[in-house]
Structure 1
């Protein structure tokens, strides 16, 4: 589901009632644990945490007008999603997350390349997401991103 929101507060206000609290808690978990330098806003019609143009003027290679994305949170039709670009780009981080997940959640991990799907919104592993959010600084994310993009 896509929401036409101009701000994070506007995005959350449009969510179904049963999604507002979990999405807000997920947002707060990321906010409180993300290293300094990332900014928050609406990116790709979702809640986004990204590297601002003031820190990385080149922006995202697919569209340099967009800031460099890092984490997004979205309420989809059948789940709440956390998109984490670092999991996709850094194998060690991916492997760590996959190994840790069963220690924090009784349900099977439902994951794509960068998307973690939470179908049971009452069982989102917020502590694990908090720890995941601390794993990469802005400078580390830029270095990983540039290495991947410039290699192509």
Structure 2
């Protein structure tokens, strides 16, 4: 489902009642646990934490007018999703998360490259999300992004 909003509060206000608390909890966890330097905004029609242009002027390679995305979350039709770009770009972080997940959640991990899907609202591993949020600073993300993502997008001369 796509919700259009100019603010995170506006996004949450549009959600069905059963999703509002879940999304608000994820937001609070990220606000409290992400290292200093990430900015909160709506990006790609979902609440996001990004590296702003004031810190990383080049922005996102797919659209340099946008800030560098880091973590987003959304209420989709059949699940709540957490999109963590660092997991996609850092093999060790991915391995850590996959190993930790069963210790925090009784259901099987449902995950894409950067998307973690939660289909049961009563079994979201909030403690694990909090710990994941602490694992990468804006500078760590910028370095990883430039090393892995930007290197792959540059064409050979």
TM-score tier after normalising by the smaller chain length: over 0.9
1:57 aligns with 2:57: yes
2: CA distance, partners of 1:76 / 1:150: 29
Map 1:5-84 to 2 at 5 A: 5-84=5-84
Residue 125 of structure 1: aligned partner: 125
SS at match of 2:130: helix
1: CA distance, partners of 2:150 / 2:118: 33
1:148, distance to aligned residue in structure 2 (A):
1.5
2: CA distance, partners of 1:8 / 1:150: 29
Contact preservation (8 Å) 2:34, 2:134: yes
Residue 89 of structure 1: aligned partner: 89
Q: Which runs of 4+ in 1 moved over 6 A?
A: none
Residue 138 of structure 2: aligned partner: 138
1:150, distance to aligned residue in structure 2 (A):
3.6
- TM-score norm. by structure 2 comes to 0.96
Q: C-alpha deviations, 1:16-43, integer Å up to 9, x for none? A: 0000000000110111000000000100
SS at match of 1:122: coil
Residue 111 of structure 1: aligned partner: 111
Contact preservation (8 Å) 2:61, 2:150: no
Q: C-alpha deviations, 1:39-68, integer Å up to 9, x for none? A: 001000000000000000000000000000
Aligned pairs, how many? 152
1:94, distance to aligned residue in structure 2 (A):
0.2
Root-mean-square deviation (Å): 0.6
Question: Structure 2 regions of 5+ residues with no counterpart?
Answer: 153-157
1: CA distance, partners of 2:148 / 2:66: 18
2: CA distance, partners of 1:150 / 1:106: 37
- TM-score norm. by structure 1 comes to 0.99
2: CA distance, partners of 1:145 / 1:85: 9
SS at match of 1:60: coil
